[in-house]
């Protein structure tokens, strides 16, 4: 086997063929993050000029001048004939070449029946910090629309039906419409007290993913008033609801439900059978159900909305760190403790 840096086209074709294909492992995601303080690198093992294993690594400077963190999300990918040891050697070599003090790995494995990595043997320890939300709601969108609706709770079904009335228009937005989405994102961030990306971030995400058919910006409007919007990504059989916003006007029209239903229809048309609501509070389901009506901090503000779509609350394996520089890693963990006080 030979280690190479594959072209974006080679790499994306390999990712698309994987059973657990994920938009965070596409070359476009690396290009998006590269524009906002990260570096990106694709590593692949080839046999007879065919990629049989690989990983998409991101790198970012740690705060307080603590060096660099390497980050591996939702991968790596390997075919049965590949050599896992050689793949991890290539990953370690790339991370060290970039001066990484440690590698943070989020495998993104939810199902308990999937083969789980032997983290200890691979040299990883459980991390005190995640990058992606480890807990989410997965919605089965296979079958007919009636079957999907039947899996939802009654309140969500009613609000979807209400959203289809009153001449609300749902449409796949053009590049020129990103400004509308940006304005609603600012409104949503102010209303719910959470951070949003700068406007250029969503514009760049649109340019990288939407023309390629790997994402859609879906908006809702009524008589010229923007009401709601979201950006949905898809790869393989899964779609992800990643960014969402709504305005402060005509909220009685339930456009946030209608635009989500339109996104599910878009995902179904692409052949997706699973819809990931992408992030809820990292608590067990009993705690979630006991507290969601009284809490609105952090991801609690969206759980009440996401819980009604008939999905399953699942938790990934979280984040794991492989340490290359123990001194800097100890300082990193100390900085996290100080930050959380």
> Does 60 share its domain with 98?
yes
> Does 264 share its domain with 295?
yes
pLDDT of residue 113: 59
pLDDT of residue 338: 87
> Does 20 share its domain with 120?
yes
What is the average pLDDT value for the chain, to the nearest integer?
Answer: 94
Q: What is the total count of domains within the chain?
A: 2
Concatenating the DSSP letter of every residue in 34-67 gives: HTTTEEEEEEEEEETTEEEEEEEEEEEEPGGG--
Alpha helix (H) ranges present in the chain? 8-16, 27-34, 84-97, 119-122, 145-150, 154-163, 178-192, 199-209, 255-269, 285-291, 300-306, 326-340
**Tally of residues, the chain:** 341
CA 108 to chain centre: 10
Residue 325: give the domain boundaries: 2-130+317-340
The pLDDT confidence band at residue 180, using thresholds 50, 70 and 90, is: very high
Quick one: average pLDDT of 132-157? 96
What burial letters (b/e) apply to 184-216, b meaning 16+ CB within 10 Å? bbebbeeeeeeebeeeebbbbbbebbbeeebbb
Characterise 135 by phi-psi region: left (phi > 0), alpha (psi -120 to 50), beta (else): beta
> Does 163 share its domain with 299?
yes
> Does 57 share its domain with 86?
yes
Distance CA 196, CA 34 (A): 18
Say which CATH number the domain at 174 has: 3.40.630.30
- Taking a C-beta distance cutoff of 8 angstroms, is the pair 227, 253 a contact? yes
SS3 category, 23 = helix
> Does 49 share its domain with 191?
no
- Taking a C-beta distance cutoff of 8 angstroms, is the pair 177, 313 a contact? no
> Does 71 share its domain with 146?
no
pLDDT in tens, 2-55: 999 999 999 999 999 999 999 999 999 999 999 999 999 999 999 999 999 999
β-bridge partners, 60: 38, 69
- For the cut 70, the answer to whether the pLDDT of residue 114 exceeds it is no
Task: Give the single-character DSSP code of 245.
Answer: E
pLDDT in tens, 195-224: 889 999 999 999 999 999 999 999 999 999
> Does 151 share its domain with 235?
yes
Residue 150 CB coordination number (10 Å): 11
Lowest mean pLDDT of 58-67, 313-322, 324-333, name the range: 58-67
């Amino acid at each position: 086997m030979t280690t190479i840096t594959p072209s974006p086209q080679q790499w994306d074709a390999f990712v698309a063929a994987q059973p657990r294909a994920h938009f965070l492992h596409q070359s476009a995601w690396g290009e998006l993050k590269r524009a906002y303080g990260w570096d990106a690198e694709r590593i692949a093992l080839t046999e007879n000029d065919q990629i049989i294993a690989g990983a998409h690594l991101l790198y970012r400077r740690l705060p307080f001048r603590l060096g660099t963190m390497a980050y591996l999300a939702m991968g790596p990918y390997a075919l049965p004939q590949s050599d896992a040891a050689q793949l991890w050697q290539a990953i370690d070599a790339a991370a060290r070449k970039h001066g990484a003090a440690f590698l943070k790995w989020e495998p993104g494995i939810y199902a308990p029946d999937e083969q789980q990595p032997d983290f200890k043997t691979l040299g990883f320890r459980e991390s005190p910090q995640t990058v992606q939300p480890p807990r989410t709601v997965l919605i089965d969108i296979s079958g007919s629309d009636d079957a999907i609706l039947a899996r939802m709770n009654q309140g969500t079904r009613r609000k979807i039906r209400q959203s289809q009335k009153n001449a609300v228009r749902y449409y796949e937005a053009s590049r020129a419409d990103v400004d509308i989405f940006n304005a609603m994102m600012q409104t949503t961030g102010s209303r719910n007290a959470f951070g949003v990306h700068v406007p250029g971030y969503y514009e760049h995400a649109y340019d990288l993913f939407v023309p390629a058919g790997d994402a859609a910006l879906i908006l809702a409007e009524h008589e010229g008033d923007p009401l709601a919007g979201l950006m949905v990504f898809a790869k393989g059989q899964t779609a992800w609801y990643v960014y969402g916003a709504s305005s402060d006007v005509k909220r009685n029209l339930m456009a946030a439900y209608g635009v989500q239903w339109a996104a599910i229809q878009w995902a179904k048309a692409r052949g997706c059978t699973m819809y990931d609501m992408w992030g809820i509070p990292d608590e067990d389901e009993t705690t979630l159900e006991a507290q969601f009506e009284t809490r609105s901090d952090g991801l609690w503000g969206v759980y009440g909305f996401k819980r009604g779509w008939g999905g399953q609350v699942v938790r990934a394996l979280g984040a794991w760190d492989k340490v290359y520089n123990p001194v800097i890693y100890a300082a990193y963990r100390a900085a996290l403790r100080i930050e959380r006080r």
